[in-house]
Structure 1
Amino acid sequence: MSSPTFIGLKGQPLVYAVTLCCGLGFLLFGYDLGFMGGLTTSSEFLNQFGNPGASLLGFLISSYELGAMIGALHIFLFGDKFGRKPNVMSGAGIISIGAIIQTTSFSVVQFLIGRVVSGFGLGMMTTVIPVWLAECANPKSRGRMAAMQLSNLILGLIIANWLDYGMASYSGSVQWRFPCAFQIGFCVIIGCYIPFLPESPRFLVREGRFHDASRSLAALRGVEDVAEEIGQIKYAVEIDAKHGNWSDIFKNSGVSGRTRVIIAFWVNAMQQLTGSNVISSLGPYVFQHSIGLSRQNALLVSGGNQIYFFLSSLIAWWAVDRFGRRQLFMFGSAGMSLCMALSAVFVGIGTKSLGYGAVAVLYVFYTFFTVGWQANMWIYPSEILPLKLRVRGGAVGVVSQWAFTFLVVEITPVLITNIGYKSYIVFAVLNFAAIPIVYFFFPETNQLPLEAVDLLFSREGQTSNLLKVVRESTDKNVQEAVQASLYSGVEELVAMETKASVVHREDIVDAA
């Protein structure tokens, strides 16, 4: 008897299919982040909405992040009541509604409503997609799957930038309405594709749907017998059940819930404080108003930057599972801090040649960002959080992601207008400050089974000191001991289930 299949696939090809669907969701994410950047310098768009000043223009863009934050809060409250797939599909449908409202807008208020509605849908998707992928992928390739998913985010940015560049040659409102409508196509593809893929086996185990969980996991692993991994998941669920419920998100119990949620919160926030979205969301604006390029050249340079960004992201496919999360976080932060400092110097001096130097340095910035933070950040919260808190804790993290994205995108036009080159110094300092935070407070999770991470925080049912957990997470001997403890716990659980089954059968015989 062979293992089950979905859409005719099983094993790693099926994991790639799930990754592709997740990647399409993040391609939509990238597109939605990027297409507004070109509209900020479009005379047709600006005239339609009364030539907004820097503050209102920033709010037109960042209102999307407000909607996404509300969408993540929705998942916090209701996401665990449904599977991973239904939440992703609902998010795609809501984004489509928001896109229609934006495309048909004739007033600032209508456009803002459309941005918030689309953001709500994206907030749902970006909360659930990393969890779904992490729970389906093999531990040894989990980081690479996330890196592939995040390359699609950059592909969305590329499509947005070059579509804006191409539409700039058209006159009339089609110049900005078509980019607004274009995002609907991605939503349709996701809606048609996702029903045929497997649900997260960990969600199914938690819901007590063991047959469905075994079928899903057997297809994802490409083997018929998945009893051992199902046992590990059951064991993790049992540990969670012994130490409270989802309200542990606000307190530390045996699974250190509050500590792990705080880590998920700050890793999301710190990614936005790198300044990455300054160029992703406002690239043409920055290149035009900070560095002094013409609108056409600003669009061209921004589009080229996204292509370079995509090519850099391919390095992460190779690096993310080889060097671990902590090392790459610190490497990326050090490089980005240097790039922002150099940009401040080049823009501050203000000569034409150094302006081009600033452009080159901002290109290199994205190599450090994508290798150090991009894929790492999106998989890390799903690895660090226990199963019972994975969706709610992930939602808290995504709320911080969108809150800080809103902050950065909202203030960037104002910063550039008022303090010029010093804007880059702010981000240089923030990136440098991230290095000691990662070193002391971020445990290593690379290639560990998700259930083994739980044991790092809750060995022998005791809440662990975070600094100790961080030290032990980088110790190969401790990692091996934790995994051995996991396998031992599974064996005990299987023995208990077997004994309970035998007693139950004996009771039936006695009753007969």
Structure 2
Amino acid sequence: MGNLPLLKGAGLRAAIVGVCGWCFCLLGYDQGVLGSLIGLPAFLSALGNPTAAIQGLVTAIYSIGCVLGCIVAAFFGLRLGRRWCIMGGCVFVSIGGAGQAAVYSLAQMIVFRIIAGIGTGMISSTVPVWISEICGPKKRGQKTALQLTLVLTGNVIAYWLEYGTTQLPGDVSFRFPIAFQCLFPLVAFIILLGLPESPRILYYWNQGEAADEVLSRLHGYDSFLESSPVVSYEKQQILESIELENSLKDGSSITWRDVFWDNSPIRNSRRLFIVVVLQGLQQLGGCNVIAYYQTTLFTESIGLDDHRARLLAGCSALCFWTGTLPAIYLIEKIGRRQLMLWGAGGCTVAMLAFTILLALGTDHAGQGWGAVAMIFLFEFIYGSSWASTVWIYSAEISPLRFRHFNSGMGVLSQWAMTFLTVMMAPPAIASIGWKTYILFVVFTSLQIPFVYFLCPETAGRTLEELDQVFMKSAPPDVLHGVCSPSAGPIEKGKANKVKLDELSATCR
């Protein structure tokens, strides 16, 4: 177990949140690194000057690797633990990044894109889960929203680094920005060696002594014996939750029936359905098409010259990053549910206006710049709502026994839909133009009824309390204010033995 200079309390939590943020910065960098390079002559020459469809494949194949990484996390995440799953992902990303930087053929690029994607899938499936398990209910959403701000920080770094290097002659114009991604996983791996595993995983592994030590350190104590009743209460909640999950299945291993058709009070199949559809809908709204193809979108759909399109793509990434800042405050203030509802409505309006402006034609400067403004508006609204909320929501509503699987399947759904939309976008835009964006309008509008009818509020409750929300036998006082469509953020929980305010304060 890691023991980085005996960190404890806020320092230990900051170290874990920090290294998770560094890993998500890698995720953002990897998503944006090919956005400007895909049209670069030197890069296309190294790949043998592929067609538009093959260029789409090169970009989208990364998502297939991410899907494979999510499958690894889903099936082996509980056995590996949060820490080693992320460390394994860092190894894959390092190998994939180095291979892409040395690319001299199309096949080589595709293989190493897949390898890097496997690592990203493992990391992106596990980071939100680890954050949710080590942060208290009052800070859990904020810490995850911060991670998504760092995703966009990586995206901004990629765009502006490429804006500078694409002006350089020769292969260095694309090899350096691709190789730069290896810095993120190497640093993360070294830091992770000194950090402890999630206490919930250690309790699940029956490593009670190690779990007591980590849980006490997270609350700022040197040992469990010296800790406060708050630590004992949290331990009790965790152990009772594990005991309940095990008792319902007699401690047997997870079966396919448990996952997809769970009739037990845990009701994991309902939770898994929400997670998978929610994260799939996020991508079907077109967010990654804009992220991957901003330069192409500005040149082909709006008609800007290449230099101005690259400059605007960098500015758009900054706008997206700025949009994630309000979410750090709003995700706990108004709750996950309201943030997703308002975000879906705003994104629908922005995408609809963008589509209408393209349909009217961009020959007139006012219409062209209006379309650019709608892209900026879409990115800001998406960044302040769905970009961060669905990541924490998926981890929050899943029971401990299935949290790794549900998270993996949710992120798998996200990467699969990313592959679908990113692969489809270039030929669709070339073939039917503005009509392509009608699809994204439809799916952003579908997000509203899905969240309204199926997604209860989760803000302000411990993970163990959220288990009660979904259980068939949940008492009325647990369900009150949670499952009704009009419910706002959960009021501070009424714990039987300790006030949730006190628990939350110790988890900051």
Q: 1:290 aligns with which of 285, 301, 308?
A: 301
CA contact (8 A) 2:460 2:489 kept: no
Moved more, 66-75 or 280-289: 280-289
Distance 1:486 1:205, change over 3 A: farther
1:384 to 397, 417, 437: 397
Q: Which amino acid in 2 is paired with 1:387?
A: L
Measure the CA separation in 2 of the matches of 1:7 and 1:58: 46
Which residue number in structure 2 is paired with residue 234 of structure 1?
239
User: Cα–Cα, structure 1 residues 364 and 304, in superposed 2: closer, same or farther, change >3 Å?
Assistant: same
Instruction: Report if aligned partners of 1:440, 1:470 keep a CA contact under 8 Å in 2.
Output: no
AA matched with 2:351: M
Distance 1:187 1:219 in 2: 26
Deviations 1:354-380 (A, max 9, x none): 111111111111221122111111111
Taking structure 1 as the reference length, what is the TM-score of the superposition?
Answer: 0.89
Secondary structure of the residue aligned to 1:447 is: coil
> How many angstroms apart in 1 are the aligned matches of 2:381 and 2:191?
33
Alignment partner for residue 321 of structure 1, among 322, 332, 353? 332
Q: Deviations over 1:201-229 (max 9, x none)?
A: 11111111112112212222224231110
Aligned positions, number: 481
Instruction: Give the Cα–Cα distance (whole angstroms) in 2 for the partners of residues 5 and 447 of structure 1.
Output: 30
Could you give the per-residue CA deviations for residues 222-253 of structure 1, whole angstroms, max 9, x where no partner exists? Answer: 24231110110001101111222533212222
- Structure 1 residue aligned with 2:506: none
Cα distance, 1:486 vs structure 2: 11
How many angstroms apart in 1 are the aligned matches of 2:219 and 2:388?
23
After superposition, residues 166-205 of structure 1 pair within 5 angstroms as 166-205=164-203
Shift of 1:418: 1.4
Structure 2 residue 93 is the aligned partner of structure 1 residue 100:
no
Deviates more, 1:140-149 or 1:310-319: 310-319
- Cα RMSD (Å): 2.3
Find the aligned partners of 2:309 and 2:489 in 1 and give their Cα distance.
48
> What is the match of residue 246 of structure 1?
254
4+ long deviations beyond 4 Å:
466-469, 475-481, 483-487
Corresponding residue for residue 35 of structure 1: 33
- Larger deviation, residues 58-67 vs 415-424: 415-424
> Structure 1 residues 470-479 or 175-184, which shifts more?
470-479
1:129 is aligned to 127
Higher-Rg member (1/2): 1
Q: Confirm or deny: 8 A CA contact 2:341 2:448 kept in the other structure.
A: yes
Task: Name the counterpart of 2:372.
Answer: 359
CA contact (8 A) 1:445 1:473 kept: no
Q: Is the 8 A contact 1:385 1:393 kept in 2?
A: yes
1:102-501 paired onto structure 2 within 5 Å: 102-223=100-221, 224-225=227-228, 226-244=231-249, 245-247=253-255, 248-252=258-262, 253-349=264-360, 350=362, 351-458=364-471, 460=473, 470-471=483-484, 474=487, 480=493, 483-484=495-496
The 3 A distance-change label for structure 1 pair 475 and 103 is: closer
Distance 1:422 1:478, change over 3 A: same
Matched-pair identity in %: 34
Q: 1:450 to 1:432 in 2, by over 3 A?
A: same
Instruction: Give the residue type in structure 1 aligned to 2:307.
Output: Q
> 1:289 offset after TM fit, Å?
1.4
Q: Which amino acid is the alignment partner of residue 442 of structure 2?
A: V
Shift of 1:470: 2.7
8 Å Cα contact 1:268/1:400 also seen in 2: yes
Q: Report the alpha carbon displacement of residue 426 of structure 1 after superposing the two structures with TM.
A: 1.7
CA 1:148–1:297 in 2, change beyond 3 Å: closer, same or farther?
same
CA contact (8 A) 1:22 1:149 kept: yes
d(CA) in 2 for partners of 1:189, 1:161: 21
* 2:182 match: secondary structure: helix
Residue type of the alignment partner of 2:275: A
Distance 2:383 2:167 in 1: 32
Which digits, 9 at most, give the CA deviation of each residue in 1:260-289, with x for residues without a partner? 111111111011112111121111111111
In 1, Cα distance between equivalents of 2:270 and 2:148: 26
1:190 and 1:45 map into 2 onto residues whose CA distance is: 28
Q: Secondary structure at the match of 2:138?
A: helix
Q: Secondary structure in 1 aligned to 2:167?
A: coil
Pair 1:473–1:132, CA change in 2 (3 A): farther
Give a deviation string over 1:419-444, Cα, whole Å, max 9, x none.
21222222112111110110001121
Gaps of 5+ in 2: 222-226, 500-508
1:301-352 Cα distance to aligned partner (Å, 9 max, x none) = 0111111211221111110111111101111000000000111122222122
The runs of 5 or more residues in structure 1 that have no matched partner are 488-512
Amino acid at match of 2:319: Y
Quick check: 110-119 or 440-449, which moved more? 440-449
The one-letter code sitting in structure 2 at the alignment partner of 1:369 is Y
Partners in 1 of 2:5 and 2:147 — Cα distance? Answer: 20
SS in 2 for 1:131: helix
Shift of 1:389: 0.1
Given residue 134 of structure 2, which amino acid in structure 1 is its aligned partner? Answer: C
Does the CA contact (< 8 Å) of 1:40 and 1:285 recur in 2?
no
